[in-house]
Structure 1
Amino acid sequence: MSVDTDLIAEIRSRLQLRRPNADAVLSVVNAFANHVEGEGNGPFEGIVDSATGVGKTYIMAGLIEYLSAQPTSRNFLVLTPGRTINQKTIETFTRGSRRSLMPSLLSQPRLVTSENFDSAAIRRAIEDTSQTKVYVFTVQSLLLGRADSEQQRKTHEYQEGLGGGFYDVLAGLDDLVVLADEHHCYSGPEFGRVIEQLHPHAVVGMTATPLSRDRGKVVYRYPLAAAIAEKYVKTPVIVGRRDDRSDEVTKLADALALIKAKADLSRAYAEEVGVASVNPVLLVSAQDIAEAQRVQKLIESDTFEGGNWIGSTLLVHSELTGDEKERTLAALDSVEAAASPVRIIIQVGMLKEGWDVKNVYAILSLRTSVSEVLTEQTLGRGMRLPYGEYTGIELLDTLEVVAHERYEQLLEKRGILAEEFVATYYRPIVVKNAAGESTVKFEEHTVDVNATDGEATPPASGTGDSDEESDVAGWSWATTTIVDQTTRENEANGAARSSKGRLTQYSPIPEREPITVPQLKVIPRAATTSLTQIADRTPYVLLGVSLRDEGRDELKRTLMKGEIEGNVARIEVHQATSRVGASLFDVPLETTRQDLIRRVLTSPWVSARGVEALAASELVDAVIQGMGQEAQQYLSNFFEVAARRLLELIRSHLEPAAGSTVFEDELDMRPLEGIRATRRPQKADTPDLFEPDYAYNGWAKHLYSHAWFDSSPEYHAARAIDEDPGVVTWVRLLRNDSPITWTHSGTSYNPDLVVSERDSTTGETIWFVETKRDSEISSEEVQAKRTAARTWANTATLLMKQHGLSTKCQYLLLAERDVLDAAGSWSAMKRLGT
């Protein structure tokens, strides 16, 4: 077994794996390969220790894709610790479900569950060694030597459809790979025997909290500190009181005050950026059922906060039965829905592994110390991002942990709290050895983790869809912040009041020329390449220049001269000083041009799509442009050389792009004409000093009277654009104005600005402009978005040409240093950006 780094890169692109998840796949594959090559005893065992909320399901999908693409395995058993994770995993491999990854999976695995395993069709699938199978079962359903449930009996008893017992059939597979989700749950000897007696080829565990005895099996670790620092999860803020009040009423009131403020901010944010609002939820952990019932009764009473929370609680515990249990589980499953009335979930040890709703915004543990909350699964229930990414609004990007301890006690133990977040981990890096072969080495990474006091907390104001960090000194998104309740509540209420300002609507200014932008759909194919992915024509022009300069239009002549020195005669070869022109053919340039285009279109990397012919013609024309006036002469006589070199160049550009996003041939042009609204106060002009909380007026070419921004580079780029004489109109884009899909699963993003400029020579160009901090510009996500956006712009240009339009689309990525170095010049920004 070898490590195919190209395959891993392709899978990462196709599944749009986050960087740590791709690292996890590479680490497991590398450890597995080392085990096989070293002829290790027994099955391979490895554990992925990855922070909750980063996406362990994607790691499992990536491993299935990799191992099924090799001769390694076609059979994968996903073990789950309970109903919740089991159902979620089934949905992952079910086409059409909201969690489904099937459109991105080349392996297209056959899903086998407790509902369908005992059929003849499944038996045929198992016997088909070319088909990938994924078996999703709870570990309890496979327990040996017990008949506590019908399911346990069914998996071990003889099944006529299978021709044997299901467990025995699994144990007879020599390529079975066990993927143990929440691996730490299988510490009991019974669970261990379930895995051991399957005699698997490999066992890979997934967990955020590995057992101490299993530390030696960890092949990849991605700590929570790193996930916070890289903005894959919320930032926890620990809230404590300065006084001695620690009764239940006070704690509940404290937590709900923050929930109310977050709800106001969430509504305002969703309204401004045009997305569905998320309802913030408080998760209360009680010690026992009696305490949980007492707390629910308190919250649902008329005397608690005037009865404002009546009908908003959901109680979850292990003794629920019958219809009540089903109603509770249904309410729990729909807690993210806009129509859900649930704002407070009270649970007793139930909501741990696998329960992964995104709208838990505060956690209150009534008796447990904060250090225990941070080390157990409870914290993980609130770490996922409600809007899929950081909003730029601090209170919407944080999880409040309402502490049992006083604020001063928390400060005294902040060093201990910081230690709860493991800060050192090792990243796998692919390097070339002396023989030019790809090998994997591991590089140490350390996250700077501190538990700061509330003085470092950034202001909680602002609305927008940016992920810009706060500029407040001392704040770091990798920080665990400790803040007192009064300060935090004042911040939250102040931000909430700002969000309730008068909503002002803005319509396009009739006198300004509208901008019409293309809309494209991504091709829902797992892996593909397209000539539209080649946006830069410069290498093709240079190829033409190189071919021209090789001087193939002349015959090289050699002169053989005989010389005698003493008794020795020798022949010497010299370059002839006179040259004779080659016998030249004279084929019409258009004929060789069309032949080159056909050669490109019949290459194995190009699909038979209409837009490909346009893209091929542009690449060929770029080569001809480089040849200049000698193009006809050169192609007449050295066509095969030109074709070979052109195809080599195309292949070198398309191979790294395999699996990245390409777009359909359908073009939809839509004007930007919608009404936009914000509660931000207005500024009458565009001063040098940028403040993020204002809507700015004073533009000469913006389609609307006012524009608002999330960062200083974005604002100053807009000022330069507005002052450029070649610009006709520009718009500060909001969410869904002009979305560019950059993943096969449909994830899209909007650039910051769209600019229409007109030139008497080149005609109209529509620029889509994105600004990023210097620290972000080289990140893999930003570069992946850039790649997709350039393909998108190139495809749009070709399709508009096909429809008789001369408008061109361009994408420009600007670092903050580019904006600064351009010194207010839009032309300079176009030269500096990428």
Structure 2
Amino acid sequence: MSRRVRKMDEFIGGDLYSHLQAAADLVVIADEHHVHRQQARAFSSAVRDLRPRALVGLTATPDPADEGKVIYRYSLAEAIADGLVKVPVIVYRQDGHKDVATQLADACHLRRIKEAAYATWAEGEGRTPVNPVLFVVCQTVEEAKQTSNLLASESYIGDPAAVLEVTSQSSDDALAALASVEDPDSPIRAVVSVDKLKEGWDVKNIGVIVALRALASEALTEQILGRGLRLPYGRRVGAPMIDQIDLVAHDSYRKLLEQKDALIQRIAPTGDSAATGEPLQPGPAKAAAKEAAAEIQETPEQGTLRLVTPGRLIDGEHVDGAAALILQDYMVTEAQGQRDAEEYRVLQRVPGAPQIVFPRREQEVLPVRFSLSLVSDTDVRAAGAGFAQEIKIPLIREALTATRTLDGGVRVRREAQEAGEATQAWLPLARVTNDLENRLLGLGLVEESLAELNAARRVVQAFLAGAGAGANSEVNWGAERAHQALQGIDALIRQRYNARRLQPKYAFRTVTMPVEPQPMPTDVLDRFATKFERGRWYSGWRKSVLPVASFDTNSTERALAEILDGATDIAWWLRLQATDPAFIELDTGGRYYPDFIAIDTSRVHWLIEGKSDRDVTRRDVEDKRGAAEEWARFVNDDSRFGVWRYLFCSETAIKNARGGWHSLLVTARAS
């Protein structure tokens, strides 16, 4: 620990170390925690002597002695499935050539292809190009020197200045060059190291890895593979040459298959974090890793075997599995790279597809106001049900009777008689409707606007429907019933006004969907050609606004797409992504991204969400559903954006629809 932390600091009245020791709420977060424990005991002691309330260690390789202290695990497989890092691809040859020279030559060739793919994508997106680097791991210093000399020759990298050798004997200049290898101006195109580099060297431009004389399962370690996992542009871009890290193994395919379980256990979850976040002890954790490996699904394609992890929880929601590891023939990898390098393609609407104007409702910093759009049809219908019958006006009849008292006087008293029914005026339903609307707008609780007028009409229609007064059911209302109805709807609206949420005013801002242009994914499959895999892009749609779409779940999102694409009453549909500007703001400050927008042949716009049965009753899901239903009411009451409806579909509702759109409207009870 630096001595500077023990020097006097006039701003805190002492040295920093003592100040931290005295802090009652100190929490220390230690990155590379295993290093502090094993190799820097003095540093570890200094940290622990601070006596923090909590010491949280972060590490990819916990010390065996610390296994019992692990409170949460996030496996490499989870990071890969969540799209936070590259997908590892083990590249093999089927022709039996696995000598070092061939392995390095193939790796250099793949690096050049990746460089072209990186440049093509960067130019199309207007981004700074990233130079992919080859990372070679050797076992000895002598092997590293031989490898560096070979790579510098004309048939490989072809430039000694572009090959950086890093060993225990390396100079300070070499270490400085290593630190700056991801700079755009760096000349380095290959890094040759002995064993593994020290912790702390994490760059984003490793494109190809070669572990000489090491089996693929041994090379798939956090220290070696981890060097190349960072995404060069901070996110997946849809181009395999950029989104994947190639590990050139050149073991035979048969040998790789024999190692399949060992390979997947290198990256598979070793605890229960995917389900609960709770860790397992070392013994059960290893058993869990084997169990996870056993649940891996194999998705074979031409020259490619994708190992897909089982479904799991993400932010509390269940999603399907994604590829965590790919075994691929060298020729297939080369061909894919050539496609990625040849042209930058733009993802845009199919011919004839419309642009969708989405009315996004945004908060404005304005005084709180009340709107009739906050009143739901369900509540109004329930209130109207109390006025389903005519109200009779009683005609009170009393008789005055006189009787003699004992002293001869007369006592007069009132005596109730059987009541009669008074006559009353009958009002046309149109007048009742008009009176109710005027009462709502005359309360002084809402602003004078077309939106509130439309909302008042909607509320009154729902109220009358609750009272059984449909368009064809009644002609006239009794005056007393009409009067009491006015009092009833008045009380309902005042009650809603007094219980209104303290929320800012919202304003609509239109956004045009889909966002154009955007890069076209190159790893696209026909929707009928393979098993479902989360995150893959699928083509072959007839009514999708875009030619390709990707999904997180098969039983809800993918199934909804199939229903929409086959429905005769659906004109177009668009799969929404979490990066799209079409979202609904929540009162909590968050955002809700629905799954689809669909346009039916009557030009009604549908905002659609699919959820697994186990997620339907979650509180956050119910909050999003309520926000979307409220959003739809506001949009329709505004009347500038056409008719929008919200459709929430459970897994069971989708299944029971049996592929039919009309059936889905019934099973999901469209609102």
Change (3 A) 1:358 1:633: farther
State the 1:201 CA deviation.
1.6
Q: CA separation in 2, counterparts of 1:275 and 1:663?
A: 38
Provide the rounded CA distance (Å) in 2 between the counterparts of 1:359 and 1:617.
60
The farther-off stretch of 233-242 and 816-825 is 816-825
Q: How far did residue 380 of structure 1 move?
A: 2.6
Superposed counterparts of 1:170-181, under 5 Å: 170-181=20-31
For 1:490, the equivalent position in structure 2 comes to 331
Contact kept? 1:258, 1:489, Cα under 8 Å? no
Shift of 1:171: 0.5
Residues 1:222 and 2:103 aligned together: no
RMSD over aligned Cα atoms: 6.5
Partner residue, 1:159: 9
Letter in 2 for 1:517: V
1:201 is aligned to 53
Once residues 400 and 280 of structure 1 are traced to their aligned partners in structure 2, the CA distance between those partners, rounded to angstroms, is: 11
Distance 2:514 2:48 in 1: 61
Aligned pairs for 1:238-257 (under 5 A) are 238-239=90-91, 247-257=99-109
Aligned residues: 584
1:546 to 382, 401, 407: 382
Between the aligned partners of 2:324 and 2:273, the Cα distance in structure 1 is: 21
Amino acid at match of 2:332: E
Q: Once the two structures are superposed, what CA deviation does each residue of 1:660-719 show, in whole Å capped at 9, x if it has no partner?
A: xx9973624548796899799999xxx99678999769x6x887xx94455875764454
Q: 1:765 matched to which residue of 2? A: 604
Q: CA deviation at 1:197?
A: 1.4
Deviations 1:34-73 (A, max 9, x none): xxxxxxxxxxxxxxxxxxxxxxxxxxxxxxxxxxxxxxxx
Query: Does the CA contact (< 8 Å) of 1:362 and 1:399 recur in 2?
Result: yes
Q: 1:190 aligns with which of 34, 39, 42?
A: 42
Q: 1:268 to 1:709 in 2, by over 3 A?
A: farther
CA contact (8 A) 1:520 1:664 kept: no
Q: Is the Cα–Cα contact under 8 Å of residues 530 and 612 in structure 1 kept in the other structure?
A: no
Structure 1 residues 499 and 793 mapped into 2: Cα distance closer, same or farther (>3 Å)? farther
Please name the residue that 2:315 is paired with: none
Q: 1:329 aligns with which of 154, 174, 179?
A: 179
CA distance in 1, matches of 2:56, 2:563: 49
Alignment partners' CA distance in 1, 2:451 and 2:130: 42
Say if 1:208 and 1:340 are closer, same or farther in 2 by CA, change over 3 A.
Answer: same
Q: Deviations over 1:734-782 (max 9, x none)?
A: 98996335899x99999886544464xxxx4333567x7x8x78679x9
Q: Distance in 2 between matches of 1:318 and 1:236?
A: 28
Correspondence 1:633 to 2:633: no
Matched letter for residue 667 of structure 1: R
SS in structure 2 at match of 1:178: strand
**Does the 8 Å contact 1:517/1:738 carry over to 2?**
no
- For residue 155 of structure 2, the aligned residue among 296, 300, 303 is 303
- Aligned CA distance change for structure 1 residues 426 and 819 (closer, same or farther; 3 Å): closer
Larger CA deviation: 177-186 vs 515-524: 515-524
5+ long unaligned stretches in structure 1: 1-142, 144-151, 431-439, 462-466, 470-474, 556-576, 602-609
Letter in 2 for 1:489: Y
Deviation at 1:195, TM superposition (A): 1.9
Percent identity over paired residues:
26
Quick one: which of 494, 499, 517 aligns to 2:357?
517
- What pairs with 1:551-590 in structure 2 (closer than 5 Å)? 589=436
Name the counterpart of 2:640.
805
**2:6 is aligned with what amino acid?**
H
The answer on whether the counterparts of 1:180 and 1:203 sit within 8 Å (CA) in structure 2 is: yes
Shift of 1:405: 6.1
Match of 2:507 among 655, 665, 668: 665
Unaligned 5+ segments in structure 2 are 305-309, 313-319, 393-417, 423-431, 470-480, 531-535, 552-557
Deviation string, structure 1 residues 299-325 (Cα, Å, up to 9, x no partner): 3432326x4x78765666787777776
* 2:538 and 2:548 in contact (8 A); partners too: yes
Structure 1 residue 213, shift from structure 2 partner? 0.9
Distance in 1 separating the partners of 2:58 and 2:450: 43
Equivalence for 1:380: 226
Q: How far off its partner does 1:397 sit? A: 5.6
Measure the CA separation in 2 of the matches of 1:676 and 1:311.
Answer: 37
Q: CA deviation at 1:170?
A: 0.4
Secondary structure (helix, strand or coil) at the match of 1:363 reads strand
Q: Is the 8 A contact 2:515 2:580 kept in 1?
A: no
Give yes or no for contact 1:270–1:276 (8 Å, CA) kept in 2. yes
In the TM superposition, residue 184 of structure 1 has moved relative to its aligned partner by: 1.3
1:740 matched residue in structure 2: 582
User: Which position in structure 1 is the counterpart of 2:409?
Assistant: none
Distance 2:331 2:84 in 1: 27
TM-score (norm 1): 0.52
Per-residue deviation at 1:720? 3.0
* Alignment partners' CA distance in 2, 1:672 and 1:350: 45
Secondary structure of the structure 2 residue equivalent to 1:636: helix
| TM-aligned CA distance change 1:198 to 1:541, over 3 Å | same
**For 1:271 and 1:579, how far apart are their aligned partners in 2?**
90
Which structure has the larger Rg? 2
Q: In 1, distance between residues paired with 2:122 and 2:650?
A: 27
Query: How far 1:294 sits from its partner (Å)?
Result: 5.2
On the 8 A contact 1:313/1:345 being kept in 2, the answer is yes
Q: Over residues 617-646 of structure 1, what are the superposed CA-to-partner deviations in whole Å (9 max), with x where a residue is unaligned? A: 899779757655779735625866765578
C-alpha deviation, 1:352, in angstroms: 5.8
SS of corresponding position for 2:28:
strand
Letter in 2 for 1:155: V
Q: Deviations for 1:453-510, whole angstroms, at most 9, x for unmatched residues? A: 998544479xxxxx999xxxxx9746656x4xxx621222343455578889899899
